[in-house]
């Protein structure tokens, strides 16, 4: 099915099942422990051996030699794989560094060996006996130090300029010129990167924790120099990914290599201390923002430049994208700069680009609003735009930022906010409110599905789509139930298998909308097949209550499969509506904080997100996505930071003992409001995505609230005590 025109009325609009707050159908399996994750496939391989990864002890240099003698003779050891004995390996296109290092070392904790043994403890003990002699080299590990030498845009990301920014900014009555920084951050998903591999001759099966099954299959086949058809990847359950599991990582490759060497199934879970350095992370940024307005507060000039670093072949953090579209202004400039750093690879983390970009932009908007003498919400409303500022002929398909702001202001009690900072106290706590806009593009991508109808009237959906804790099983079941007129319990959903049709996968906020649109397309074909079997006109047939009706005639749905299961397959392909319309999602985030007047401790008291994100397919699972994102935004604002050892080139706090993430005690009252935002330009589902939008802007809202509470403006994340203490008002 090709989606080339805005959607008209279709069966999804009945909203008998879609749009309802159903419980997750995978919930019982997960809460009873019967949902098997990648590391737990004892049913498939009861004799699996254990792999333990040895990570490089240097950040840049070469391996002079590896002594494996003691490790080979350790109890239980079956095999040890290094770059010397792994055989010829290719390199996928989606990772900057090689996944098995040697002799060259490209970053700290790059995998240099995997030890396979009968038990986990034996593999770990033997890995300690692997002796690696390194030649250490000096590398580039400090973005601030490398930034002055980065003056040109990276390949493929040219600067974007509209009008004459320099002249307009110089002539502006009100000006802001400020620099903001965001740190390196780690995904820290609950489930470790984990894989289990089994060989049968030349055919490889890998169960893995990966968000994009088809990407993983392609990259694994390319790296192992296998035919794609000889690789099967399964990922039916994933315990969180946040972008860290979008690509093939070392656990899957080394499980495959270890299994081949040991001639046994092998499973590997990357030990937690390896994950920040061995896998990917959100790279740090230095962002320079300039905004000029006239005396009334209308933006005349806006510029946003961002510096980030990566390994050779890596990409920049696209932190300026939202600034191209969020606010009006005739004179504009955005640009990205990329420094070569020898830190581990920087790559996608929940809402890549917009999350760190809005951490800076939405503080800057509050700062310029104050300079212009305007309330922060009034300033944002004044500078709203219904068109792409650089291409005024290109309208937004739906844009309800103003409605998000006004709805949130009323619900949150914004009118009670004191406009003068550091004026409100509750005992020892200084109280403040903050706001920020949220923005994330609506991305869609080709997605396929296969649907079966059997003689009992059971509908089964198969697609390689993944569920990373987001509710994919449930919304896919809801889509099929709505399209075929059956109750939710008559739909079975099978996900995460590369033998199923290729879907969008889970990432970029495109998963829910794209994957359900693919199921929609397959269900349209199944409706046609059912109608033909029953002698109905498919265009007139109504599928309701497990029956098919046209006028006074009706038949049971299952009758169409009386002679055998009906099976159809289709793929949704998106045309060029994104060129005619700018498709985006919007939010307004509101936060109330308390700041201890003596210690500077920040406590978030209340949080509210108002989201306009297309049709909400399941309000219950969508709300869970948003409150999870809000929690992640709190962590980014107040505590999350990978600390770089700038002498040796690695992330020091590479475990959950030192890399702080929010816990239950940190999380206050959280409320989520979804506006009616059905968007026919987006897809046949008229949905968009919300899982990343819920994060975009949250951190800035917290920092803006802290400023309102204390009068202290912090531009460097995370907002830790040392950045507040010296500037807090005198105790009275």
Interacting residues of 144 by C-beta distance below 8 A, sequence separation 6+: 286
- The answer to whether 670 touches 630, Cβ cutoff 8 Å, is yes
DSSP string of 473-537, one letter each residue: HHHHHHHHHHHHT--GGGEEEEESBTTSPP---S-TT-HHHHHHHHHHHHHHHHHHHHHHHHT--
Lookup: tokens for 567: 């099976």
Question: Can you say whether the dihedral through the CA atoms of 367, 373, 377, 383 is positive or negative?
Answer: negative
Task: Count other C-beta atoms under 10 Å from residue 229's C-beta.
Answer: 10
How many other CB atoms sit within 10 Å of the CB of residue 324? 18
Q: Which residues contact 372 (CB under 8 A, 6 or more apart)?
A: 174, 293, 295, 296, 297, 379
- The CA distance from 510 to 506, in Å, is 7
Per the annotation, the verdict on 202 as an active-site residue is no
Is the CA virtual torsion 576, 579, 581, 583 positive or negative?
A: positive
Phi, psi of 363 (to 5 degrees): -75, -45
Residues 6+ apart with CB under 8 A from 207: 38, 41, 44, 195, 196, 234, 235
Query: CB count, 10 Å around CB of 286?
Result: 22
Residue of 324, 354, 640, 692 with catalytic role: 692
Could you count the other beta carbons within 10 Å of the beta carbon of residue 167?
12
Residues 6 or more apart from 662 whose CB is under 8 A from it? Answer: 631, 632, 634, 635, 639
Residues in the chain: 732
Q: Is 531 exposed, middle or buried (0-12, 13-18, 19+ CB in 10 A)?
A: buried
- Return the bridge partners of 180, or none: 287
Cβ proximity of 195 and 208 under 8 Å: yes
417: three-class secondary structure by DSSP: coil
All residues at 6 or more sequence positions from 94 whose CB lies less than 8 Å from its CB, including other chains: 215, 219, 246, 247, 248
The Cα 50–Cα 162 span in angstroms is 57
What lies within 8 Å, CB to CB, of 575 at 6+ separation is: 2, 3, 4, 5
* Rounded Cα distance, 34 and 471, in Å: 17
Here the tokens at position 705 are 């609230």
Is residue 459 within 8 Å of residue 486, measured between CB atoms? yes
Closest CA to 589 of 688, 698, 499: 698
**Structure tokens, 367:** 């700062």
Say if residues 283 and 251 touch (Cβ distance below 8 Å).
no
Question: What three-state secondary structure class fits 429?
Answer: strand
Q: Count CA atoms closer than 13 A to 270's CA, side-chain side.
A: 33
Q: Phi/psi class of residue 253: alpha, beta or left (left: φ > 0; alpha: ψ in -120 to 50)? A: alpha
Q: Which residues are catalytic?
A: 692
């Amino acid at each position: 099915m090709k989606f080339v025109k805005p959607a008209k009325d279709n069966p999804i609009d009945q909203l008998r099942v879609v749009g309802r707050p159903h419980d997750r159908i995978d919930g019982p399996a997960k809460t009873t422990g019967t949902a098997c994750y990648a590391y737990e496939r004892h049913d498939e391989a009861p004799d699996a051996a254990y792999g333990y990864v040895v990570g490089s002890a240097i950040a840049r240099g070469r391996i002079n030699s590896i002594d494996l003698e003691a490790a080979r003779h350790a109890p239980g050891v079956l095999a040890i794989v290094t770059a010397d004995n792994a055989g010829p390996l290719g390199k996928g296109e989606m990772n900057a560094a090689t996944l098995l290092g040697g002799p060259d070392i490209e970053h700290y904790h790059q995998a240099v060996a995997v030890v396979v043994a009968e038990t986990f403890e034996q593999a770990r003990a033997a890995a300690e006996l692997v002796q690696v002699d390194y030649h250490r080299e000096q590398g580039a590990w400090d973005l601030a130090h490398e930034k002055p030498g980065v003056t040109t845009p990276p390949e493929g990301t040219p600067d974007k300029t509209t009008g004459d920014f320099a002249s307009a900014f110089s002539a502006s009555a009100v000006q802001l010129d400020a620099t903001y920084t965001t740190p390196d951050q780690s995904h820290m998903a609950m489930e470790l990167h984990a894989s289990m591999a089994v060989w049968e001759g030349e055919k490889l099966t890998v169960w893995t924790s990966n968000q994009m099954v088809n990407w993983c299959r392609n990259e694994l086949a390319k790296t192992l120099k296998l035919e794609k058809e000889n690789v099967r990847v399964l990922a039916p359950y994933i315990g969180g990914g946040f972008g860290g599991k979008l690509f093939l990582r070392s656990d899957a490759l080394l499980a495959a290599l270890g299994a081949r060497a040991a001639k046994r199934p092998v499973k590997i879970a990357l030990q937690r201390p390896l994950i920040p350095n061995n896998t990917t992370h959100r790279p740090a940024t230095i962002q320079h923002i300039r905004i000029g307005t006239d005396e009334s507060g209308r933006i005349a000039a806006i510029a946003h430049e961002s510096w980030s670093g990566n390994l050779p072949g890596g990409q920049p953090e696209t932190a300026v994208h939202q600034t191209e579209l969020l606010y009006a202004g005739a004179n504009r400039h955005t640009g990205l700069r990329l420094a070569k750093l020898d830190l581990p690879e920087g790559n996608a983390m929940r809402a890549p680009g917009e999350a760190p970009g809005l951490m800076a932009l939405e503080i800057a908007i509050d700062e310029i609003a104050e300079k212009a003498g305007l309330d922060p919400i009034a300033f944002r409303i004044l500078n709203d735009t219904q068109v792409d500022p650089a291409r005024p002929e290109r309208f937004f398909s739906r844009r309800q930022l103003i409605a998000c702001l006004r709805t949130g202001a009323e619900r949150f009690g914004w009118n009670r906010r004191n406009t003068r900072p550091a004026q409100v106290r509750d005992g020892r706590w200084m109280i403040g409110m903050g706001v920020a806009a949220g923005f994330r593009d609506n991305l869609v991508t080709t997605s396929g599905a296969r649907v079966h109808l059997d003689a009992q009237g059971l509908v089964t959906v198969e697609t390689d789509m993944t569920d990373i804790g987001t509710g994919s099983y449930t919304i896919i079941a809801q889509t099929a139930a709505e399209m075929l007129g059956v109750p939710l319990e008559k739909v079975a959903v099978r996900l995460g298998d590369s033998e199923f049709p290729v879907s969008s996968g889970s990432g970029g906020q495109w998963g829910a909308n794209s994957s359900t649109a693919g199921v929609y397309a397959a269900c349209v074909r199944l409706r046609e097949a059912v109608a033909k079997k029953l002698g109905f006109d498919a265009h007139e047939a109504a599928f309701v209550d497990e029956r098919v009706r046209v006028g006074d005639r009706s038949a049971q749905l299952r009758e169409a499969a009386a002679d055998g299961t009906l099976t159809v397959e289709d793929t949704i392909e998106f045309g060029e509506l994104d060129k005619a319309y700018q498709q985006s999602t919007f939010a307004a985030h509101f936060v109330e904080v308390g700041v201890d007047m003596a210690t500077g401790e920040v406590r978030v008291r209340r949080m509210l997100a108002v989201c306009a994100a297309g049709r909400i397919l399941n309000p219950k699972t969508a709300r869970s996505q948003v409150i999870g994102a809000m929690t992640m935004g709190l962590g980014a604002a107040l505590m999350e930071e990978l600390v770089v050892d700038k002498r040796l080139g690695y992330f020091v706090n590479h475990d959950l003992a030192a890399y702080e993430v929010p816990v239950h005690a940190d999380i206050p009252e959280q409320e989520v409001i979804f506006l009616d935002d059905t968007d026919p330009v987006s897809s046949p589902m008229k949905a968009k995505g919300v899982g990343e939008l819920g994060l975009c802007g949250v951190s800035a809202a917290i920092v803006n609230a802290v400023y309102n509470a204390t009068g202290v403006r912090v531009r460097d994340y995370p907002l830790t005590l040392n950045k507040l203490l010296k500037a807090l008002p005198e105790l009275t």
